[in-house]
Structure 1
Amino acid sequence: MKLTLDALEVLDAIDKKGSFAAAANALFRVPSTLTYTVQKLEEDLGFVIFRKEGRRSVLTPAGRVLLEEGRSLLLATQAMIDKAHQVDSGWEVRLTIALDTVWDTQQFLPILTEFQQLNTGVEINLLEEVMGGSLEALIEDRADIVLGGPAPNTPIQGLQFKEVMQSQWCFVTANNHPLTQTNLPLTNKMITPYTSIVIKDSSRHSPIKSHRLMDKQKQIKVASMQQKISLIEAGIGVGFLPKHKIQNKLDEGTLVTLNTSEPASLTPQYCSWKSNNKGKAARWFIDRIINTKAS
């Protein structure tokens, strides 16, 4: 007799109920069936699984190890069945959402909280991407939905884009930076001597994109918008930042915006997804995102 899920269920019931008779009653079987199952399993495995202590059937040390490991299999099997039912109902097992580093994560939290309250069982994975990496994540199936980031220069078959907000960029320094004492507006020549804090494009295979880089200007490259904000706030460098990401820093006065001779841009941010994605979770998030007014 091979170790089967049915045999593990029998061992589990005996251990929980304390006797073969009580376990048989819980499993709606006759006690002799459970006795045969355990005896055959002990014979095949070569060790005793239960011993009698008074009226109770107690696991031996070897039996305890067998059942504890077996319970992991029982839980995994039930989880597999639950996931199959979940997929059959139209809900995905998991959904990956890539947030472009420009996007304000705090703005996304109410939507995520609302989804969690649905108790769908869908596993949500969040990624952070930068510039071209956001679109690449969607194209290469690293993400199911992308929130924030640019649209492609030319249409890509099978992808849909919906503008959900616009980012107002501004040139920013720490409140005690030397440029704050300079006559405005700042020219590129005036900015070039100071280190520029640059977020690295997270593309893995696509051409690397960059914005507002000046010739001969020293750079420090970082991986995220938060890192860039922190370095500029510390006075280590300067750079362009989206105003909605730093409004609290501007209000506190730790960061200041300075006018430049070349006005900072206003860039659209998109929600993007694959047209053939029909999962309930994906559709739910897309609907909520595009119908929630960005602040």
Structure 2
Amino acid sequence: MNSPITLDALRVLDAIERRKSFAAAADELFRVPSAISYTVNKLEEDLDLTIFDRSKRKADLTPVGNLIVEQGRLILEATNELTYMAKQSASGWELEMRIAIDSILCFKPIYTLIEQFQVDNPWIDIKITEEIFGGTWDALTAGRSDLIIGVTGDLRNNNFKSHAIGELEFVFAVAKEHPLCHLPSPLSAKTIKQYPSIVVADTSRQLDTRSAGLLDGQPRITVADISQKIDLQLLGLGVGYLPVHRIQNHLDSGELVELKVAKPEIREVNICSAWRKDNKGKALAWFVDKLQTLPHDVFLGK
């Protein structure tokens, strides 16, 4: 018996659950909203069950819908892995090179490498994704990316290799008119906790999410990327650590002010690129080789 739960239907459900709306899922999958609705309605009709609770404006899964999405993601991951392995074994050259970069970095160096790569390999698709915190490791371990750039910390296990690409420097910075600017330094944790921390959301899907520079009990404003975090801190809506290479012009102009903290949580972080040892793809090897020839800290705009 053929199951009505197709891979396409699982991709649609996954997108709706992650994006929290049918319209946003349609945008991600490059389809019209009516096509998304038809897929869901048809699946519910064929299964004779309800996947989404339509009593609310938000696209909330029913318990059985949540089961289908959770198990469906395992199927999608397995299918993607099988497809990828088949493509790799066929010729040695990947049909798609997938690169995940932490949003805190400058992307121009990888664009330059892509331009060079396409001269001799125009048929190979390249997919660039932006990740935050543990999202880069998550993308590599889950098989969504072949190469990740901007990871911190030790290697997850012996299945990976890495290459150091720079050192991030962070400072605790606030808007020039923020009340903290008028207090004696170094600032205590008790003083800082009186103001919201601007936090960038971790993009991990399977690994545990994390954050940095957040004090216990401190209110937070969560944003999607580092650019939004900088914008909110420029407006004085919150406080937090920021990467120096992304805010140097604001520090120079006085729009942002670096303040001393009694017990600084983060100052300097070593970053690297990483990839799977067992990935023998020729496209990956090309990018790894080129990355190792780039100047140190080039992804920090230096």
What TM-score results when the alignment is normalised by the length of structure 1?
0.65
Cross-structure match for 1:272:
274
Amino acid at match of 1:91: W
What TM-score results when the alignment is normalised by the length of structure 2?
0.64
Q: Distance in 1 between matches of 2:88 and 2:263?
A: 53
Which residue of the other structure, out of 135, 144, 147, is the alignment partner of 1:145?
147
Are 1:151 and 1:161, in contact at CA under 8 Å, matched by a contact in 2? Answer: no
Are 1:104 and 1:244, in contact at CA under 8 Å, matched by a contact in 2? Answer: no
RMSD: 2.3
Q: Distance in 1 between matches of 2:260 and 2:129?
A: 33
Query: Residues 60-81 of structure 1: CA distance to partner in whole angstroms, max 9, x if unpaired?
Result: xxxxxxxxxxxxxxxxxxxxxx
Q: Distance in 2 between matches of 1:88 and 1:278?
A: 12
Q: Distance in 1 between matches of 2:254 and 2:93?
A: 46
Listed as ranges, the gaps of 5+ residues in structure 1 are: 1-84
Cross-structure match for 1:126:
128
For residue 109 of structure 1, report the CA deviation from its aligned partner. Answer: 3.0
Query: Residues 74-93 of structure 1: CA distance to partner in whole angstroms, max 9, x if unpaired?
Result: xxxxxxxxxxx999664321
Secondary structure, in 3 states, of the residue corresponding to 2:157? coil
Cross-structure match for 2:169:
168
Change (3 A) 1:286 1:226: same
For residue 218 of structure 1, report the CA deviation from its aligned partner. Answer: 0.9
Cross-structure match for 1:257:
258
Which residue of the other structure, out of 257, 275, 284, is the alignment partner of 2:286?
284
Aligned length, in residue pairs: 211
Q: Distance in 2 between matches of 1:251 and 1:113?
A: 33
Secondary structure, in 3 states, of the residue corresponding to 1:111? helix
- Name which one, 1 or 2, has greater alpha-carbon Rg: 1
Cross-structure match for 1:239:
240
Query: Residues 157-190 of structure 1: CA distance to partner in whole angstroms, max 9, x if unpaired?
Result: 3211222111111101112212122222222122
Cross-structure match for 1:111:
113
Q: Distance in 2 between matches of 1:90 and 1:100?
A: 27
Are 1:135 and 1:151, in contact at CA under 8 Å, matched by a contact in 2? Answer: no
Listed as ranges, the gaps of 5+ residues in structure 2 are: 1-86
Cross-structure match for 2:182:
181
Secondary structure, in 3 states, of the residue corresponding to 2:171? strand
Change (3 A) 1:144 1:86: closer
Q: Distance in 1 between matches of 2:253 and 2:107?
A: 20
